[in-house]
Structure 1
Amino acid sequence: MTDRAAEPSYSCACFYTDNIFIEEYQLHVRFTDAPQFTRDYERALQSRGCHGTEKFARVLETVKKEVHRRMRLAEESMHRKVEISLYYKPLHPEVYVLQESFLTEEFLEAVHFCESHNATLEGLLNHLHSIPGKRIYCFPLFLPQFCTDFVAELENFEKSQLDKGRPNTMNNYGVLLNELGLDESFITPLREKYLRPIASIIYPDWGGGYLDSHKAFVVQYSEDKDLDLSCHYDNSEVTLNVSLGKAFTDGNLYFSDMREFCTDFVAELENFEKSQLDKGRPNTMNNYGVLLNELGLDESFITPLREKYLRPITSIIYPDWGGGYLDSHKAFVVQYSEDKDLDLSCHYDNSEVTLNVSLGKAFTDGNLYFSDMREVPSNERRYTEVEHTIGRGILHRGQQVHGALPITSGERWNLIIWMRASSIRNKQCPMCHKEPQLVETMGEGDGFTVIRKEDRGEAVNVCTLI
């Protein structure tokens, strides 16, 4: 339901292709056509027990049906809403219109505080229970009698022979409240008059003061229906979850961290790894990983990261290594796990400055270690161990000797960016420590550029070194 009733409604095209949940194998998938689905998910499904062409064909048919359902969703929902309004007789018609008598005094006090001129988050927290470190807030919302009557109304509707839409692909039992006629008279005023004042203070950075539409539904759990709900995130800026009853034991909610870049990026890399496309590997030392230029991430991601964000920092901390003139890079991701690469031997990089970011996933041990610059004899080097945690970036000079200790469990993905300054390497190759003998090559090369006539006294018709 939206406040913009006179305007067209829109969905992102991804609604019809992405985030399709296969309950039997507890897997979210993307579907555009059968070849893409087979290429991207056949192995993943096999690893979860989907063996044989017959089982896979059944899964594929289920996914196709879900895509078809989504395409017809709005039309069918409108039809059901009309049928329900004509033929369903409510048991408790009073619950269809929101009344303040349904709401707890504690909740109303929180709303009134938010509407006052001196409302602050600190003051609001006196009215809410906050989950430390999660920005999750709890409060009593509905009085017990309303919950009892509302659940009785939903059960009465479930007994009817009318068609019913289900909330989503993860919940098999529940009611879409817009089809039952509760949007305009109940959910919209609840959002606008009571929830938005609170959300504007606790979630200003998530549009809390501008919540202008919603999707509202009830889900049902019992021993003979859905028992639990797999880990997921919602298609919303802010979600309200109210327990209506009835009597039950256990079934607590659990919350993790926000769906963040590192999680999404690793998921994207894993999705690419599942494809049957040829893949280049990062280097001769890492057997598992992805070259990000081949994945199309150079121009739109790595280059702006280097130019706009990293170079201002490196210009100050590494001015003698071309930190202010980093003009090219090689970017890749490496993967470590118990059945793949465990560690990385001592080495130095083909870069002036290197960025190393731990993307995840869960792992133990595997710290990095750093020594002196490469020209220091190996028997004189002293090593320092550095813990590498998820999301943390480490900048170091490319010629600094370093390595990675073995991980002892789990899986780790690292983003590596070798950043190069042609003004430095044009004078001396960082790998052979000699004046570069350049050979023209296709592609990106290794960051060397044509040496200008005024720098050398003659023109050299070369481009890059592979």
Structure 2
Amino acid sequence: MGEFYVCSCFYTHNFYIKELGLHAIYISKEQFLIQYSKVLKQHGYSTDERIQSILSQLENELQRRENLGPAFLHRKSIIREKYKMLHPEIFQLKTEFLQPEFLNLVNYCKQSDATVGGVMQYLEETQVKNVYAFPVFTDSFCRKLIEELAHFEESDCPKGRSNTMNHYGLSMDEVGFNDFITTLRVEYMQHITRLLFPEWGGGNLDSHKAFIVKYKVGEDIDLGYHYDNAEVTLNVSLTDNYQGGSLYFGDMRTVPLPDTECSEYNHVYGVGILHRGQHMHGALPIYSGVRYNLITWMRSSKIRNQLCPMCNNKPDLVKTVGYGDGFTADAQQITDVCSLT
């Protein structure tokens, strides 16, 4: 694996505040209170106590991001030493975990004369433009993966949550599935994405961030309208014992919400949906059961080195660990993370 970076906007942009339904910029308390004064008033945040609760969330999230690299390495070291796998055989991807329809799709895409029109014959209709669906994992693999995740949750190993929007998910890399996801991206998904998303680096997806999201009544039950920090996203449904929770899609993030009509998609067990990372989407509330999804944000450094998708500027690179946010030194300007804290 080469050397990857984050953009410095990772420490200032896209701070999610669920109560406000807002992805905010947070540079300082003063800047935030001035920039979002109207939004705060609209949501009834008029007292010092209520405003301070928002500011505390932002400060906690900033500290989490600043400590992310060392904390990640610390957790991963403990997990590697202490965690006893329930199903060790699933930590490396094998063809027997994959649906025959998926293997047929990939085999077609590998052909030198494969076309977009030909690919469509292997895909399921979603009725959402540029969102594609196809079976990915077998029932047996999905069951074992869920059992493994539950086993990990019950262990005393540290847990690093996947993002600010989902509080009960898990990082696939920390649990030990990085090689699994790398194989999925390189040997399978990239053959599909090079045909469906060529202009968005589909043939050069050189890094990823993979995580589990979990929805359960009394915990997280939905997901707000957002876009992903990815060129292409694969979202695989791992369970079918829940009700509600339909996905909904709007347009690309550059299209204002008032001009967007959203379309629903009922995700099916074992099926993956593939879409542009910047395609706005969300998840409606579940009202019974437990829903697990495997999300893989696939990134192309050739695309994001030109323009950071989170701040819309030439990326100002900050050294990090692992894949970071998928930027490479080709984007030039590099900042030491210590100068940001």
Q: Same fold (TM over 0.5)?
A: yes
> In structure 1, what is the equivalent of residue 218 of structure 2?
224
For residue 139 of structure 1, what is the aligned residue in structure 2?
A: 134
Residue 118 of structure 1 aligns to a residue whose secondary structure is: coil
Q: 1:119 aligns with which of 114, 139, 154?
A: 114
Q: Which residue of 1 aligns with 2:63?
A: 68
Aligned residue runs from structure 1 range 17-416, under 5 A: 17-132=12-127, 134-184=129-179, 186-260=180-254, 262-263=255-256, 361-362=258-259
Give the drift of 1:134: 1.4
SS at match of 2:46: coil
**Partner-residue secondary structure (3-state), 1:218:** strand
Gaps of 5+ in 1: 264-359, 364-466
SS at match of 1:113: helix
Q: Secondary structure at the match of 1:254?
A: strand
Determine the C-alpha separation between the residues in 1 that align with 2:128 and 2:233.
17
> How has the CA–CA distance of structure 1 residues 362 and 133 changed in structure 2, closer, same or farther, with 3 Å as cutoff?
closer
TM-score by length of 1: 0.54
Q: For residue 93 of structure 1, what is the amino acid of its counterpart? A: P
1:24, CA displacement in angstroms? 2.3
Query: How far does residue 362 in structure 1 lie from its aligned partner after superposition?
Result: 4.8
Q: 1:179-200, CA deviations, whole angstroms, 9 ceiling, x for partnerless residues? A: 011102x000000001000000
Amino acid corresponding to residue 226 of structure 2 in structure 1:
H
Aligned length: 260
Secondary structure in 2 aligned to 1:155?
A: helix
Q: Which has the higher contact order (CA 8 A, sep 6+)?
A: 2
What is the CA deviation profile of residues 85-134 of structure 1, one whole-angstrom value per residue up to 9, with x for unaligned ones? 00010111111010000000000000000011220010111001243461
Shift of 1:361: 3.7
Relative distance call for 1:47 and 1:34 in structure 2 (3 A) is same
In the TM superposition, residue 43 of structure 1 has moved relative to its aligned partner by 2.5
Given that 1:42 and 1:56 are in contact with CA atoms closer than 8 Å, whether structure 2 keeps it comes out as no
> Higher strand share goes to which structure?
2
Gaps of 5+ in 2: 261-341
Verify the 8 A CA contact 1:121 1:202 in the aligned structure 2.
yes
Q: Which amino acid aligns with 2:19?
A: E
Cα distance, 1:71 vs. partner? Answer: 1.0
Percent identity over paired residues: 42
The residue number in structure 1 matching 2:298 is none
Q: Larger deviation: 231-240 or 22-31? A: 22-31
Q: Which of structure 1's runs of 4+ aligned residues deviate more than 2 A?
A: 130-133, 360-363
Q: Is the 8 A contact 2:93 2:183 kept in 1?
A: yes
> CA shift at 1:246, angstroms?
4.5
